[in-house]
Structure formats: structure tokens, C-alpha cells
Chain A
Amino acid sequence: MTNSAIRFDKVSRYFGDVKAVDAVDLEINDGEFFSMLGPSGSGKTTCLRMIAGFDRPTSGSIHLYGQEVSDLPPYDRDVNTVFQDYALFPHMTVGDNIAYGLMIKRVPKTERAKRLDEILDLVQLAGFAARKPSQLSGGQRQRVALARALINHPKVLLLDEPLGALDLKLRQQMQVELKSIQKRVGITFIFVTHDQEEALTMSDRIAVFNQGKIEQIGSPSDVYERPASSFVAGFVGTSNLVSGEVAKRITGSDQKFSIRPEKIHLGSASDVLTETMYKANGTVRDVIYLGLYTRYLVSLDDGGDLVVIEQNLKTTSMDVLKARDQKVVLFWEKDHISRVGG
């Protein structure tokens, strides 16, 4: 109990009739990089705002390191936030922005300057203190927002889709950087995102949100390899969902299962299958060459479609495109399917 940084007990937040967050129970461990993943409107941001104190739960309670904080205003909570739009004060310099929290807490000027220098080094912005936020690039503003939160040594750092506005290259670079900063400072990070790749890259654990509820909590590999519901299977990565009669023909049971496209091998009737594999016959309907890999859409003889991804290790675009309209045999390890409810 004492080890949990954040604990939600039956926390709900209604906006009128809309249940933005619906009786959520949640425990986030000390020092963990925890992601809240879900589509927009799934309640993840509302959960974050309730931890920060910008929103109050309609019912239920939130504990921060054992202390009930549900009724505390933001300025009395030992958490800091990196905002989606960065929320840098436009009338202050970068240095004043970052040192704002220390200035409010009346930290002496010399110490303020020392900590400012340290944090500017950490986020690689040394020499930028005198600039205005408007003179910075998106990536630099993002670092300022991060530094402004981290300089206060909060118990928990909240990040509200902070990488959303950056371009792909910069985003991938910041993902690595955020993770390494988190390891160095050892603070609990709670990261809200709708980008499953981002969540998988950085997190120790992920909570997948849907319609105000948590569908699954687990490590990235848990969530990816063993999705607990068809929603998780569909939202985290792409997934093939097979159910009913087709499922029964393949596995012998009509329980719905999911199988990742990259786990499926594309073969022909001459391939020898082992006992540990399932197989299905079909026809290639469509081939999309994507450089690194090729995506095939295969219609099964028993009905339904499966998406298959194969890396282009030896094949070229000319080779793969020949597969169109060919009869194929799909096979995959029995272990690689997940039985999903719902």
C-alpha cells in the first residue's frame, strides 16, 4: 500500500450524463513509467487531470503516496504536469518559466539559479535561459515544459500527450530521451497518449482505456501479446479477430481469438506443418508493398479475412506483387493466439 504512488478507488467523473471516468480502480507503483493509452474521449486525460487536481472526482477517492488528495487544489499537490500545448508563459523568458515553481516557493535566488542550470543541462537547453518561448522550436518548447515540471522534484510527473505536436523523427527521439530522463531522476511518470507505439516504447506498464473504463493493465508485452479484450487487440497494434464457425474450423473451439498479422506465415500446400501450429487455407486478395514489409489481405476459404505481414527479407516489390490472387496456406503457432472476450 505504501509503495503505490497513485491509487484510485472506484473513481468516477461525470460531465452531466456522460460518464467520462466510470468507477476506475488503479494502482501505480513508485518510480514506474506508467502509460494511459486509449482513444480520445476514453477518460485517460480526465484521470490525469484528476491526479493533477484540475478536475475533481464525482465519487471515489484518489491517494497520492497514501495521502487522500481528492479535495486538494492543484497548488497543494506534489505533482507537476507537462501540458499538451506546453502552456509556457509567453511573457516570461525560458529561465523564468522553468524557475516559476521555485520562485513561487520562495527558493533563494542563488539556489534557483543553480537548479536552473542543472535542469537546462538535463534537457539540453543550456544557453537558452534568456530567450522567450516564442523564439523556440516545438521540440525546444517541449523540453522547457518538461524542465519546468521536473525542477520542482515532484513525487509524480504527469505528461498529457506531450509529444503529439512534434514530427515523427523528433517524437521518436524524445521518446528515448524521456525514458532515459525518467530513469535518471527516478520519478514516477504518468504518460497519457493515444499512440500505441509511444506507449509500447516507453512504458513499464500500460493501462488501456475505453469508454471511461480500464480494459487491461499490464506490461507492454502483456498488452500486445495477450490482449484481454477484442478492444485491446484492435487498439494496440493491428490484430485479426476470428470468431464463430471460422474459429471452430481452425482451432476446434468457437471461442473468439485474436492473432497478430506478423505472427502468421504465408506458405503453400507443400509446407509441412508441425503439431504446434494452426493452419487456414485462403486466397490473397490484396498486396500492399510498404518497403520494410508487405501487407497481404487473405480471404479464407471458410469465410472472413486475415491480414498478414511479412518482412521483405529476400523479396522485392516485384516478387510480392505476384502473390495476388494466389492460393495460399496460412499457419501460425498455437501459442500466438489470444482468446478474447467481448
Chain B
Amino acid sequence: MNRLSTFFYKRPALVTLLLLAIPMLYMIVVYLGSLFALLLNSFYFLEEFTGLVVKEFTLSTYVQLFKPTNLGIFGRTAGMALAVTIMDALIAFPLSYYIAKFASRRLRTYLYIAVTLPLWSSYLVRVYAWKLILSKEGILSWFVNLFHLNSLLDALLSLPGIGGSSLSLSPIGMFIAFCYIWLPYMIVPIQTALERVPKSLLEASSDLGAKPSQTFRNVILPLAFPGVIAGSIFTFSLTLGDFIVPQSLGNSRFFIGQAVYSHQGTSGNIPLAAAFTMGPVVIMVVYLLIARKLGAFDAL
């Protein structure tokens, strides 16, 4: 045992290699490998008559992506992802700030558990719970009825583009469910970032004459920004790829996840499904580049 320790002590490079071997193997073979397979498939095309995939290089599948219906799918999904991200950031920030800076140690633990508790139950259960809550006969309409706010709800549902016959059948309902489901993924990184800001920095800012709003703008927000970006990467990419929420809630208009699901499933159009999948990849790369430009990773 002792000789083994000495053996490794003298060969730090070998230790590094052994520690990284399995995750590296997984990353390169399983993860990057399947991404590459995806990329490869997206350059094939589906022969219309035979319904068979032709393994020849072509860009025709990508051209299909630019059909108005497909562009609409991308726009709709990215718009929803952006809206959900912004809303989650707005909800998560004050809560994270409270947890990180004001809550007592004990309360902080309880709040932390409360935030992550929903993740203990199945994602499907939570989506279906929202379907019931938001449905026409659901508990939310019951409350709306109780407070005589029906006209307000009707006005909301009659909004073009995001309205529908009921909350559960409208993009608004989908938005609510998305915001709820991804919220913990936004709270945890922001809270972690805020916890790393020493209290003395806030005192120093105040000491130098900054009112609380100025301290927030000049010190807290810039230092918490990497956390917000980390959270937004979760909420944004999770919304981009999801197909269960749009299928269970909302109207019949497709999101990216549903398009991929149906193309690779019922129609067997693997190349188009692969091409659709490259969409979120490109969107995320652009998103990260913008985030870097905004200085989100400067403090890392």
C-alpha cells in the first residue's frame, strides 16, 4: 500500500491521467461521438418516394429548415426560452439574494431544500400537475372565479399569438409551467454567486457613499452576473430542447423538441431531425458568445 502511494507520488502525470480517463472517455466517445454522428446525419437526406435515408453529402436537409413553418418553430422556441429565462432570473434574484445575504444559517438550509424539493418528484408528474392546475375546470380558474377576475383572464387569453381557449391550451400556460420547472436551476447558481460576495464589499460600497440601489447596480449585480448567466444557460437550453411541456400544454403549434421527436419517430426522417437538433446547438453557441461579450465570464 505504502509502495503504491510512493509510486503515484512520484508520477503526478499518471495520477491526472487515471483520474481523467473515465470522464474523458465518456466525453469524447459517448458525448462528442454522438454529437458528431448527429452532425453527419444532418448532411444526409430522405428519399421522398422510398422513404429511405440516402447517405450522400447534401445541404438539402438544411435548406428545408428555412421553410417558413420550420423557421417559425425556431423563432417560437427561442422566444419562449428567452421569455422563460428572463422571468426566472427576475423571480430567482430576490429570492437568492435573501437566501444568500439575510437568511439565518438554519433558515438558509430549509429554503435551500424547499427550492430543490420539486426536483425530487418526477418531471412528468409536475407537468401533469400544471396541466390540471391550468385546465378550464382547474383550481386556478376556481380562484379566478372566486375573486371575480374572469374578465381579466378572458382578456389575457384573447391576446393574439399567446392566448387560447384556456390557460392549459395556450402558450401562456406553457410559459408558466416552464418558468416553474426550470426555476431551481436559476436560483442555485445565482445564490452560489451571491454567497461568494463578501459582506465587507457591500459595506465598503455603502461606506463610500453609495445608496443601496447604487450598491446593487455597481457591486452586487456585476458580481452576481456570472451566476445569472450560468442559470440562464440551464433555463435557456432546457427550454430549447424540451418536448413534453409543449406537447402537454399549449396549442398545436410545434416547438423544436416536438419537431425532432416527430421527424425521427413517425416520419423516420432522421436527417431532418438531426438538422433540427443542430439549431439549439447553434443558438447556444451564439448565446454564449454574447454572454462572453457582456463580460459574464470575466469574474470566473
Taking Cβ atoms with an 8 Å cutoff, the residues of A that contact B are 52-54, 73-75, 79-81, 83-85, 87-91, 100-101, 104-105, 148-149, 152
Beyond A87-B203, A104-B208, 19 additional contacts (C-beta under 8 Å) are: A52-B203, A53-B206, A54-B206, A75-B206, A75-B210, A81-B207, A83-B203, A83-B204, A84-B200, A89-B201, A90-B223, A90-B299, A91-B223, A100-B205, A100-B208, A101-B209, A148-B204, A149-B208, A152-B208
Closest to A52 in B: B207
Residues of A near B241 (CB, < 8 A) are: none
Q: How far is the CB of A97 from chain B (nearest CB, A)?
A: 9
- Using a CB-CB cutoff of 8 Å, which residues 205-237 of chain B contact chain A? 205-211, 214, 218-219, 222-223
Residues of A near B222 (CB, < 8 A) are: 91
- How far does the alpha carbon of A149 sit from the alpha carbon of B205 in the complex, in Å? 11
- Using a CB-CB cutoff of 8 Å, which residues 61-119 of chain B contact chain A? none
Residues of A near B209 (CB, < 8 A) are: 75, 101, 104-105, 152
Docked-complex contact A85 and B223, CB < 8 angstroms: no
Residues of A near B214 (CB, < 8 A) are: 104
Interface class of chain A by DSSP: loop
**Is B160 close to A, CB under 8 A?**
no
Q: A75-B209, A101-B208, A104-B210 are in contact. Are A91 and B299 (CB under 8 A)?
A: yes
Docked-complex contact A89 and B206, CB < 8 angstroms: no
Choose among B203, B211, B223 the residue with the greatest number of A CB atoms under 10 Å from its CB.
Answer: B203
**Is B12 close to A, CB under 8 A?**
no
- How far does the alpha carbon of A81 sit from the alpha carbon of B299 in the complex, in Å? 25
Interface class of chain B by DSSP: helix
Docked-complex contact B198 and A87, CB < 8 angstroms: yes
Q: How far is the CB of B296 from chain A (nearest CB, A)?
A: 11
Residues of B near A74 (CB, < 8 A) are: 203, 206-207
Docked-complex contact A85 and B207, CB < 8 angstroms: no
Residues of B near A52 (CB, < 8 A) are: 203, 207
Tally of A-B Cβ pairs under 8 angstroms: 64
Q: What would 22 A/B residue contacts be, using CB atoms closer than 8 Å? A: A53-B206, A75-B206, A75-B211, A80-B208, A81-B203, A81-B207, A83-B203, A85-B198, A87-B198, A89-B205, A90-B299, A91-B223, A91-B298, A91-B299, A101-B208, A101-B209, A104-B208, A104-B209, A104-B218, A148-B208, A149-B208, A152-B209
Q: How far is the CB of A99 from chain B (nearest CB, A)?
A: 10
Q: How far is the CB of B68 from chain A (nearest CB, A)?
A: 44
- How far does the alpha carbon of A52 sit from the alpha carbon of B218 in the complex, in Å? 20
- How far does the alpha carbon of A171 sit from the alpha carbon of B237 in the complex, in Å? 52
Q: B201's contact among A73, A87, A148, by CB below 8 Å, is which?
A: A87
Q: How far is the CB of A93 from chain B (nearest CB, A)?
A: 12
Q: How far is the CB of A157 from chain B (nearest CB, A)?
A: 11
Residues of A near B203 (CB, < 8 A) are: 52, 54, 74, 81, 83, 87
- How far does the alpha carbon of A84 sit from the alpha carbon of B211 in the complex, in Å? 22
- How far does the alpha carbon of A105 sit from the alpha carbon of B209 in the complex, in Å? 7
Docked-complex contact B223 and A87, CB < 8 angstroms: no
Q: How far is the CB of A207 from chain B (nearest CB, A)?
A: 22
Q: How far is the CB of A40 from chain B (nearest CB, A)?
A: 17
Q: How far is the CB of A74 from chain B (nearest CB, A)?
A: 4
Residues of B near A85 (CB, < 8 A) are: 198, 200
- How far does the alpha carbon of A79 sit from the alpha carbon of B299 in the complex, in Å? 30
Q: A101-B209, A104-B210 are in contact. Are A87 and B204 (CB under 8 A)?
A: yes
- How far does the alpha carbon of A152 sit from the alpha carbon of B208 in the complex, in Å? 8
- How far does the alpha carbon of A80 sit from the alpha carbon of B208 in the complex, in Å? 6
Q: A91-B298, A104-B214 are in contact. Are A83 and B208 (CB under 8 A)?
A: no
Q: List 9 tightest A-B contacts by C-beta distance, closest first.
A: A101-B208, A87-B204, A87-B200, A74-B206, A104-B209, A81-B207, A104-B210, A91-B222, A75-B209
Residues of B near A101 (CB, < 8 A) are: 208-209
- How far does the alpha carbon of A85 sit from the alpha carbon of B201 in the complex, in Å? 9
- How far does the alpha carbon of A148 sit from the alpha carbon of B207 in the complex, in Å? 11
